[in-house]
Amino acid sequence: MNSILHFLASSIHQSPSADNYQPWLIKWDEKTLTVTYDSGRVKDQTFPPENPATLLTIGATLENIKQAATAIGLELNLQIPQELDLSELIYYHADINTPHKEISLSKKSIPLFNRHTNRLAYKKSPLSPDIIKMLSDQEQGPARVVIFEHKNEIQEIAQVVKKASEIRFQTEEVHEWLGKSLRFSDEGGSNGKTGDGLDTRTLDLPPGGQLFLHLIKSWSRMKLLNKIGAYKLLSIIDSAPIQQAPCLVAIIGPTKFQDILAAGQLMTRVWIELNNHGIAAHPYFVISDQLHRREANLIPDELTELADSIHQSSQKIFHLKEGETIQMLLRVGYPKKIPIPSKRLKLNKVCTGFEIKEN
């Protein structure tokens, strides 16, 4: 049996995060649960606290804690600031009146605990009309869903993913984050030395793929290989699953703090629903990332023209309204194989102020 406090913390910790870094820190002060950015653990290892990738993650934790509270009949009192205070890095508070009450509900019976990423190949089968309608009806505040089923639209989006990936593999900062996130079998993958980062066993790699990732993990080697066009090859590999996808789901919304949190909630709700219906999901943030970086003037000078092309194509393809951007792209479809689930840090690594009893 778990206490309500432990159960809610576990639901937060089940959330998807950029490169599986789990950047949240869950604090308890005998009345209020507070979710902040864990600067001591993840600073300079992954996206900064105010980055849209991190805010989508925090939105995901909001969706999970709300679904967990609903499952046990608990009414949550959530306080979410209008803007993120960079001096405190507090994303939200949740008051809990009966934190130590024991519950017997099994986590396996709650869909959020079964959500997972599937980067493997999907069947060509289209999604049923009922599923498409269910997805289309989802929204969260100003965040909305746009679905792509037609081959020509999917091919167009694949080309935008390819262009965005070309920028990613030519950007030192982004590449170094990727390199830091990779977990190989001798570095915490299959032997479980760590519970964060991208376990390379979860990637759909060809023979020799892990060795190649080892090779390009260093920016100095990647920069050298880029002189012979390595970024082009990698961008083709990165966009190929999109090109072959039976369906794509775009999460669209404005770019203010609470709006991105809403997009993260919507993304996670859609993802949970898909998995609950036996449909796989694979998140692609690469277009969103380059659009955000373009807006913040972080694109290398020699790549700004390519970034402008991505911006123009995205406006048209994703039917963006004034002030909107694509927050996340999900490749979805019926899976051919069940993937190895991503690992998690021990819960006590991301919690403070209360005792954690690991099951």
In a domain, 245, yes or no: yes
Whether 145 and 197 share a structural domain: yes
Looking at residue 206, the DSSP 8-state letter turns out to be P
Which pLDDT score, from 0 to 100, does residue 359 have? 55
CA distances from 300 to 168, 289, 294 (A): 10, 14, 9
Quickly tell me which residue has 């990779």 as its tokens.
Answer: 182
- Element at 32 (helix H, strand E): strand 32-37
Quickly tell me which residue has 């869950």 as its tokens.
Answer: 26
Whether 148 and 90 share a structural domain: no
Whether 89 and 136 share a structural domain: no
List the CATH number of the domain containing 311: 3.40.109
In a domain, 54, yes or no: yes
Residue 191 CB partners (closer than 8 Å, separation 6+):
185
For the chain, the residue count is: 359
Which pLDDT score, from 0 to 100, does residue 188 have? 46
Residue 326 near residue 287, CB atoms below 8 Å: yes
Which pLDDT score, from 0 to 100, does residue 104 have? 87
Provide the sign of the torsion angle of the four alpha carbons 262, 89, 342, 14, taken in this order.
negative
Whether 202 and 324 share a structural domain: yes
Which pLDDT score, from 0 to 100, does residue 108 have? 87
Whether 143 and 86 share a structural domain: no
Which pLDDT score, from 0 to 100, does residue 207 have? 87
- Closest by CA to 113, choosing from 64, 59, 75, is 64
The three-state secondary structure class of 251 is strand
Whether 165 and 293 share a structural domain: yes
Whether 284 and 262 share a structural domain: yes
Blockwise average pLDDT, block size 10, the chain, 359 residues: 91 96 96 96 94 98 98 94 96 92 90 97 96 96 97 98 98 92 68 78 89 92 96 96 98 98 98 98 98 97 98 97 97 95 93 79
Whether 327 and 348 share a structural domain: no
Which pLDDT score, from 0 to 100, does residue 191 have? 37
Whether 109 and 133 share a structural domain: no
- Closest by CA to 201, choosing from 177, 182, 222, 180, is 182
Whether 217 and 316 share a structural domain: yes
Residue 212 CB partners (closer than 8 Å, separation 6+):
none
In a domain, 338, yes or no: no
Whether 60 and 32 share a structural domain: yes
Whether 292 and 172 share a structural domain: yes
Count of domains forming the chain: 2
Structural domain harbouring 111: 2-116+344-352
In a domain, 167, yes or no: yes
List the CATH number of the domain containing 79: 3.40.109.10
